[in-house]
Amino acid sequence: MSEELRSLEVLVAEAQRAVSEAASLPALAEIRARFLGRKGSLSAVLRGIGALPPEERGPAGERANAAKQRIEALVAERRSALERGARARELAERRLDVTLPGRRPPLGHLHPVTQIERDVEEFFHGLGFSVEEGPEVETEYYNFEALNIPADHPARDMQATFFVEGGHVLRTHTSPVQIRAMSGRQPPFRFIVPGRVYRHDHGPRHSPMFHQVEGFMVDERVSFADLKGVLYAFQRHMMGAEVELRFRASYFPFTEPSAELDYRCLICAGAGCATCSQSGWLEAGGCGMIHPVVFENCGIDPERWQGFAFGMTLDRAAMLRFGIPNIHLMFDGDVRVLEQF
């Protein structure tokens, strides 16, 4: 056996022993570099082939390539074994105990206004009211004129309206849906209309966007006493049986007679605070008997039918129920605030 062949066999035997003893993938990589790297043992043998006689170079090169392939196969086999072992250890260390209870995912919360809105809908469903919806970008006709507020009416200045191109506005109240709901229908009927409204207003109790619920009931015999009974029952449901209410005479173009409903501030118990502007009272909303002109604009005979309407702010009810001193806390998107509810 030639000297070159014996050195290659010794080299393969050494590589086989070293590869089999490799305990990790980094160690295996070092062993491969020691034998097959540019400065490795096999490379030194290959460089020596050039010094052999021409007739011996070819067979020596074939034997060297065979040795290289053998060492590569040993390394690949050992690498596969080490990877399988590492994977098995990882699975054993991270094995799931299926008998343990699962991790509860974080749950979202209903917004305070959403909770109030659902409560309102449930209450009025119990009184036989249906829920109506309408567009938030409204025509001036439905937002003003059909509600007995013509173009030159001073009440338009009270609305602090956001105007949109094309003779449209961001609705300033939910009352336009009252017109849409009554038009083309014949009484009796009763509806509520929860939704967003928009006014150019800002303060602890006011936001450019806020939520209202409109309610109206039309029949042949509906009186202001019916309106008061519904609103007393509604406010006591929302604020508790001990809530103190008061009606104040007021003016709205679409109702006659008209009134404002107030309740004693639940945050300061009537002592006066920033939320109630130190008055001890908070405005719940406006109400009154539907104006005959509004009936006529909807094609309803005011000589036969009469009804009441009211509009209440849902945001203020949420502030009082949950003790939120500033309306903007509900809409700033601060998770620390919202997740409390």
pLDDT at 37 over 90: no
**How much is the mean pLDDT over the chain?**
83
pLDDT above 70: percentage of residues in the chain: 88
Top-confidence residue, 91 or 79:
79
Q: CA 251 from chain center: how many Å? A: 39
Q: In what order do the strands lie in the sheet with 209-219?
A: 130-131, 189-198, 209-219, 306-313, 281-290, 255-264, 245-252
Q: Report how far residue 16's alpha carbon sits from residue 74's, in angstroms, rounded to the nearest whole number.
A: 7
Top-confidence residue, 40 or 150:
150
Handedness of CA 31, 36, 40, 44 (dihedral sign): positive
Beta bridge partners of 217: 190, 308
Top-confidence residue, 15 or 305:
305
**What CATH number was assigned to the domain covering residues 112-338?**
3.30.930.10
**pLDDT tens profile 59-77:** 666 777 777 788 888 888 8
Q: Where are the domains of the chain?
A: 3-93, 112-338
DSSP H helices in the chain: 3-21, 25-36, 41-49, 54-93, 112-126, 140-143, 175-182, 224-239, 292-297, 314-322, 335-338
Whether residue 106 has a cis bond before it, omega within 30° of 0: no
Q: Report how far residue 138's alpha carbon sits from residue 93's, in angstroms, rounded to the nearest whole number.
A: 63
DSSP string, 211-260: EEEEEEEEESS--HHHHHHHHHHHHHHHH-TT--EEEEEEEETTEEEEEE
* pLDDT at position 204: 54
pLDDT at 273 over 60: yes
**pLDDT tens profile 145-189:** 999 988 877 766 666 788 888 878 899 899 999 999 999 889 999
Q: Using 50, 70 and 90 to split pLDDT, how confident is the model at 3?
A: low
* pLDDT at position 331: 79
Q: Report how far residue 222's alpha carbon sits from residue 216's, in angstroms, rounded to the nearest whole number.
A: 11
pLDDT (mean) for 244-249 = 91
pLDDT at 124 over 90: yes
* pLDDT at position 277: 79
* pLDDT at position 92: 77
* pLDDT at position 65: 75
* pLDDT at position 51: 59
Burial class (CB in 10 A: 0-12, 13-18, 19+), 301: exposed
pLDDT at 47 over 70: no
Cα dist from 310 to 26, 59, 126, 227, 245, whole Å = 79, 105, 18, 8, 15
Number of neighbouring beta carbons within 10 Å of residue 131? 15
- Tokens 């509009």 identify what position? 311
* pLDDT at position 57: 61
Top-confidence residue, 117 or 331:
117
Distance, first Cα to last Cα, the chain: 88
Cα dist from 123 to 117, 190, 238, whole Å = 10, 13, 9
Q: Is beta strand 189-198 parallel, antiparallel or unpaired with respect to 130-131?
A: parallel
CA angle 335, 312, 119 (to 5 degrees): 60
pLDDT at 1 over 50: no
DSSP tag of 203:
B
Top-confidence residue, 55 or 214:
214
Top-confidence residue, 219 or 339:
219
Whether residue 188 has a cis bond before it, omega within 30° of 0: yes
- 3-state SS class at 45: helix
Q: Which long-range contacts (CB under 8 A, 24 or more apart) does 61-68 make?
A: 63/4, 63/5, 63/8, 64/8, 67/8, 67/9, 67/11, 67/12, 67/42, 68/36, 68/42
pTM for this prediction: 0.64
